[in-house]
Amino acid sequence: MKITVIGAGNVGATVAQLLANQELANEIILVDVLEGIPEGKSLDMYESMPVLESDSKIFGTSNYEMTADSDIVIQTAGLARKPGMTRDDLLIKNAEIVSSCISQAFKYSPNAFYIIVSNPLDVMTFLAGKVTGLPRNKVVGMAGILDTARYRSFISMEIGVSMQDIQGMILGGHGDTMVPLPRYTTVAGIPVTDLIPKDRMDAICARAAGGGGEIVKYLKTGSAYYAPAAAAVQMVESIVKDQKRILPCSVMLEGEYGVTGAVVGVPVKLGKNCVEEIIELKLNDEEMTAFNKSVDHVRGTMKEASELLKL
């Protein structure tokens, strides 16, 4: 198994380290446009492998030729948010970065699965699909796993229970219009609505939707990277080990949920063929209205990106 991580910043470097720690690949290539940064970080990681008792090999480069024949490519490169910026504010700048990176990676790894982490996530996943022309099962965005992780964390904080017992689901775009689903959230099989009052659940859902922005406000000069990296690695693990986990990810819809031609977060089965199935939940009228609002927002940014890059 060979995995390429594009972008040697905080997210990309953390992804590479976690992949190596868990020995999810024999060879990991960390690529970045800034010469020396990927080489230095990857060598540092490589030298930690004896301590961590891992045989993963990590190499850094600014040359995409070293990424040839990768099984999985993880796109993390892009500008990070600053305080006051929304994910959509990054659209114009990151669209060109992601399109360029994916084009170069695809030249050398046309058969790889592509996992997109760069923001705005749903639109960048759409762009990656357009640039590569790959079927939708091979291009997937990391979003809902991160959003759901934040959501589950906040529920754990609220009622003081193990996060391992909390199951939740968030649909829609990765941003302020995401749709947390308390009705599909349980704690050890108990509906969360039986344990947390509605006003507190509303507050938790709102905090989850603004979770990335909350961290940006604290960091001031960067954005979240530990949780996003962990979420991306969970996707890789499910693919590499053919676990067939049901995880919320961004994927192009072709009729599911009554939506065609939009990339949004929905529960999918991830296995050795990447996206193996899209799970359709039965949404009530309120949930469907919120979901459609989120889809419309994503469509708007997809259109803007298409016009920008003349796709």
Question: By mean pLDDT, which of 30-39, 58-67, 170-179 is the weakest?
Answer: 170-179
- CATH number for the domain harbouring residue 94: 3.40.50.720
Q: For residues 79 and 82, which has the higher predicted lDDT (pLDDT)?
A: 79
Instruction: Give tens-digit pLDDT for 8-31.
Output: 999 999 999 999 999 999 999 999
For residue 80, what pLDDT band results from cuts at 50, 70 and 90? confident
Residues 20 and 74 reside in one and the same domain: yes
Residues 290 and 225 reside in one and the same domain: yes
Residues 114 and 221 reside in one and the same domain: no
Indicate the residue among 141, 169, 198 that finishes a domain.
141
CB under 8 Å to 200, separation ≥6 — which residues?
A: 158
Residues 201 and 218 reside in one and the same domain: yes
Mean pLDDT, rounded, for 125-143: 96
- CATH number for the domain harbouring residue 246: 3.90.110.10
> One of 87, 138, 150, 174 is an active-site residue; which one?
174
Provide the residue range defining the domain that includes 93. Answer: 2-141
- Distance separating the N- and C-terminal Cα atoms of the chain: 33
pLDDT at position 114 over 70: yes
Indicate the residue among 114, 141, 168 that finishes a domain.
141
Strand partners of residue 247: 268
User: Within 10 A of 93 (CB to CB), how many other CB atoms are there?
Assistant: 11
User: Within 10 A of 221 (CB to CB), how many other CB atoms are there?
Assistant: 8
Angle formed at CA 245 by CA 227 and CA 243, multiple of 5 degrees: 110
Rounded distance, CA 209 to CA 99, Å?
A: 27
Residues 286 and 170 reside in one and the same domain: yes
Residues 55 and 130 reside in one and the same domain: yes
Rounded distance, CA 235 to CA 15, Å?
A: 11
CB under 8 Å to 180, separation ≥6 — which residues?
A: 147, 151, 168, 169, 170, 204, 205, 208, 209
Residues 13 and 124 reside in one and the same domain: yes
Give the per-residue pLDDT at 79: 81
For residue 83, what pLDDT band results from cuts at 50, 70 and 90? confident
Give the per-residue pLDDT at 81: 66
Residues 77 and 194 reside in one and the same domain: no
Number of domains in the chain: 2
Q: Is 297 a catalytic residue?
A: no
Instruction: Give tens-digit pLDDT for 227-277.
Output: 999 999 999 999 999 999 999 999 999 999 999 999 999 999 999 999 999
Residues 120 and 226 reside in one and the same domain: no
Give the per-residue pLDDT at 41: 98
Rounded distance, CA 252 to CA 255, Å?
A: 10
